[in-house]
Amino acid sequence: MNIPVIAIDGPSASGKGTVAQRVAAELGFHYLDSGALYRLTALAAEKAGAGWDDEAAVARVAAALDVVFDGDVVLLAGEDVSTEIRSEHIGVGASKVAALPAVRSALLQRQRDFARAPGLLGDGRDMGEVIFPQAELKVFLTATPEARAERRYKQLIARGEAADLAAITADLAARDERDRNRLVAPLRQLPDAKLLDTTAMGIDEAVATILRWWREK
């Protein structure tokens, strides 16, 4: 486990995915989007007819995921689901299945296996606490609920999807509540994690800040 790891955690729509990919590219590191694994689990469970609250059934689905990441393309059982897993519907499902302890356990080693030379940047909700507690740099990236809702609204509009700002704000609040209060690895800033509030910060500035912290390490 001598692979360098940067762990970025934070709430939904905080911008951590965009920032994390940029930082990974700058450093030449591999990238793990743990949220994609939970989205894939929610989608696969739905396709298998398993309810998102059926912990045992969803855990079996998670353990048997047939997933391939190829750049921006995500294949589930050979099918390109890159767009499908980014829908708001599947996002809600991902938040629900991620609160199930057996599902998190089923995906633990799969996430750790992403750590390969020359290094890894992982983003999610429990990267620094559970998946890579030994990470050299831990970042808690967040923004105000209003800023996050506005970002998600703009993302959906840009993709040509119908969007309602009030509904998005309510959905993010519900996700935050589930993430903060789940029994396993609730979302929180760890004592050894650096806080990065991107409310009034552009992507370039956020990326530069994390790169500076890494070089200081």
- Please state the rounded mean pLDDT for residues 54-60: 97
Secondary structure class of 201 (helix, strand, coil): coil
Checking if the pLDDT of 12 tops 90, the result is no
pLDDT for the residue numbered 43? 97
pLDDT of residue 175: 86
Span 68-82, average pLDDT = 87
pLDDT digits (tens, 9 = 90+) for 94-147: 989 988 999 999 999 989 999 999 999 999 989 999 999 999 999 999 999 999
| Residue 95 or residue 50, greater confidence | 50
**pLDDT in the model for residue 131:** 95
Instruction: Count the neighbouring beta carbons within 10 Å of the beta carbon of residue 148.
Output: 25
Task: Return the CATH superfamily for domain 5-216.
Answer: P-loop containing nucleotide triphosphate hydrolases (3.40.50.300)
* pTM for the model: 0.84
DSSP string, 15-63: SHHHHHHHHHHHHT-EEEEHHHHHHHHHHHHHHTT--TT-HHHHHHHHH
According to the model, what pLDDT value does residue 1 have?
A: 58
Query: Which residues neighbour 152 within 8 Å (Cβ) at sequence distance 6 or greater?
Result: 12, 13, 163, 168, 172
List the chain domain ranges: 5-216
Between 179 and 53, the higher pLDDT residue? 53
Q: What average pLDDT does the chain have?
A: 92
